[in-house]
């Protein structure tokens, strides 16, 4: 009996694995088809410029406040935590440059993308999910309108454009927060601090960070729109779509950052 039970258990585990794997492949194919439709409608005629500008304003307006607070706190914490070791080695003058390079190369883009994944990704997932549940998207399809062109493409492009701008804004706010942190113990003018900070920043530090921010924005916009657009029926599916959009977008941001760091090191 034990052998039969063991054989049946292993067989059921194998079948479950095959089923999950097939579902994964189907999901990948569905995502690729969704990306193809987005790409096709992005370069088609009659681009929804007004909706694109509206989504840019919404993304910036929703995220600017939280990014401002987060940027100042990151700059403060990074400065306060890094100052004591530099004091021990007599290298306090390197603090502005170290903070600036850390913010511009890594912390600014990643923290901004994760914040936007929570704010923007969940918003897109919930908004499009509610439209799917209330059959507004179905009504657009029946009336021969193109919901991908009007609802998805402007949101994806707005996220792709706005997140690099928000990243640059977060870098500036973070450096200002670092200046505040330095002035807790010392008395340094803002002009001197900025000159010391950007003396250590090179061209190669800025360009890769900005480029990967575009990919962060594209990932967040695509994931948020995909989860909301393909939400299932039922009111609880709106929450599921929003939550899944945040988790998936955050994970993909970390993966994209890992790949970008490896490419940057090779260059």
Q: What is the pLDDT of residues 16-61, one digit of tens each?
A: 777 777 777 888 888 888 888 888 888 877 777 788 899 999 898 8
Q: Do residue 5 and residue 70 come from a single domain?
A: no
Q: Do residue 3 and residue 133 come from a single domain?
A: no
Q: Do residue 225 and residue 151 come from a single domain?
A: yes
Q: What is the mean pLDDT of residues 82-91?
A: 81
Q: Do residue 31 and residue 82 come from a single domain?
A: no
Return the pLDDT at 1.
44
User: Tokens 């929570």 correspond to what residue?
Assistant: 118
pLDDT band (50, 70, 90) for residue 174: very high
Q: Do residue 25 and residue 55 come from a single domain?
A: no
d(CA 156, CA 29): 19
Return the pLDDT at 8.
53
Q: Do residue 91 and residue 200 come from a single domain?
A: yes
* CA angle, 220 then 222 then 226, to 5°: 120
Q: What is the mean pLDDT of residues 71-83?
A: 90
Q: Do residue 132 and residue 250 come from a single domain?
A: yes
Q: Do residue 68 and residue 25 come from a single domain?
A: no
Asked if the model's pLDDT at residue 238 lies above 70, the reply is yes
Return the pLDDT at 2.
46
Q: Do residue 30 and residue 159 come from a single domain?
A: no
**Range of the structural domain that residue 22 is part of:** 1-43
What is the pTM for the complete model shown?
0.85
Return the pLDDT at 263.
84
Return the pLDDT at 49.
79
Give how many domains the chain has, as a whole number.
Answer: 2
CB neighbours of 172 closer than 8 A, spacing ≥ 6? 71
Q: What is the mean pLDDT of residues 118-130?
A: 88
Q: Do residue 38 and residue 85 come from a single domain?
A: no
Q: Do residue 75 and residue 163 come from a single domain?
A: yes
Buried-exposed string 93-127: b where 16+ CB fall within 10 A, e elsewhere = eebbebbbbbbbbbbbbbbbbbbbbbbbbbbbbbb
CB neighbours of 235 closer than 8 A, spacing ≥ 6? 133
Q: Do residue 84 and residue 209 come from a single domain?
A: yes
pLDDT band (50, 70, 90) for residue 181: confident
pLDDT band (50, 70, 90) for residue 11: low
């Amino acid at each position: 009996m034990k052998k039969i039970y063991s054989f049946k258990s292993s067989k059921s585990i194998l079948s479950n694995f095959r089923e999950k794997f097939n579902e994964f492949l189907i999901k990948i194919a569905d995502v690729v088809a969704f990306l193809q439709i987005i790409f096709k409608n992005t370069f088609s005629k009659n681009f929804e410029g007004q909706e694109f500008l509206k989504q840019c304003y919404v993304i910036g307006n929703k995220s600017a406040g939280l990014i401002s607070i987060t940027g100042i706190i990151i700059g403060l914490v990074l400065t306060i935590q890094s100052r004591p070791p530099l004091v021990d080695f007599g290298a306090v003058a390197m603090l502005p440059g170290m903070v600036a390079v850390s913010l511009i190369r890594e912390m600014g883009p990643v923290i901004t993308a994760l914040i936007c994944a929570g704010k923007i990704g969940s918003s897109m997932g919930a908004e499009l999910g509610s439209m799917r549940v209330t059959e507004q998207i179905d009504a657009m399809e029946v009336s021969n309108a193109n919901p991908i062109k009007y609802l998805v493409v402007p949101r994806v492009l707005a996220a792709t454009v706005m997140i690099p701008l928000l990243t640059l804004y977060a870098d500036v706010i973070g450096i200002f927060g670092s200046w505040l942190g330095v002035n807790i113990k010392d008395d340094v003018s803002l002009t001197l601090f900025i000159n010391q900070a950007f003396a250590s920043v090179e061209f190669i530090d800025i360009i890769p960070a900005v480029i990967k921010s575009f990919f962060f924005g594209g990932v967040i916009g695509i994931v948020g729109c995909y989860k909301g657009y393909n939400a299932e029926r039922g009111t609880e599916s709106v929450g599921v779509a929003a939550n899944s959009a945040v988790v998936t977008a955050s994970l993909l941001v970390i993966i994209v950052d890992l790949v970008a760091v490896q490419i940057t090191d090779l260059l």
